Amino acid sequence: MNAARRALLKHCTALAAALAAPGVLAQGAPTQRLTILVVGDSLSAEYGLKRGSGWVALLEQRLAQEKIAATVVNASISGDTTSGGRSRLPALLAQHRPTHVLLELGGNDALRGLPLAMTQANLDAMAQAAKAAGARVLIAGMQVPPNYGRKYSDDFAALFAAVAKKEDAALVPFLLKGVADGPQAASAFQADRIHPREEAHATILANVWPVLKPQLLLR
């Protein structure tokens, strides 16, 4: 074998090994496994449900069905507020290095009648921190009954869209659409009338998935 053929064979062998290596596509472009960090409250933490039946667990199943390589980190805590999420987020970003962050917080702020300006500022700060860490952001909007007056409820519902617009984040307008406002709303909730039953979580995922999937396909 002459020197030219030996050099060609060596080059081809090296190229084949490189293409076969993990994380490399046939065209030579590196792949990246996605990490979706969900920072939420009891609606995402499977409150009152058996483990593995909430919408975040259903999201993991959907990703597998769609053959989208992604890890889901559910960092949701029942009772959490936007202040709690804001304080927890820096450590979560450092630990998990997510490619996508889904913020599902604010409902407990409203239940406690907390100032809307504070809720909005906290969501702003979380979105900014996630973006600074290199993640795409999705915000899950929420609505509440007019316990504190119609204006509070309307302004609360509007702040999620305001944050999403300001921070160029994706938005699920109302996480509980088809659950809290459906014809069988009363039967969709547990006895506390706050937390959806297991069967309602498929509807919650159906609200999230059409917004999240396009974000996952952006590289």
Q: What is residue 57's predicted lDDT score, i.e. its pLDDT?
A: 98
Q: What is the pLDDT of residues 12-55, one digit of tens each?
A: 444 344 334 433 333 333 357 899 999 999 999 999 999 999 99
Of the candidates 42, 44, 80, 100, the residue annotated as catalytic is 42
* Cβ–Cβ < 8 Å for 218, 168: no
Predicted TM-score (pTM) of this structure: 0.84
- Options 41, 44, 80, 195, the catalytic residue: 195
195 has catalytic annotation: yes
42 noted as active-site residue: yes
Q: Where are the domains of the chain?
A: 1-31, 32-217
CA–CA distance, 164 with 89 (Å, rounded to integer): 18
CATH superfamily of 32-217: SGNH hydrolase (3.40.50.1110)
Give the model confidence (pLDDT) of 136-185 as tens digits. Answer: 999 999 999 887 889 999 999 999 999 999 999 999 999 999 999 988 88
Higher pLDDT, 20 or 201: 201
Dist. CA 14–CA 37, nearest whole Å? 37
3-state SS class at 136: strand
Annotated active-site residue 168? The verdict is no
Closest listed residue to residue 173, CA positions, set 149, 206, 208: 208
**Average model confidence (pLDDT) across the chain:** 88
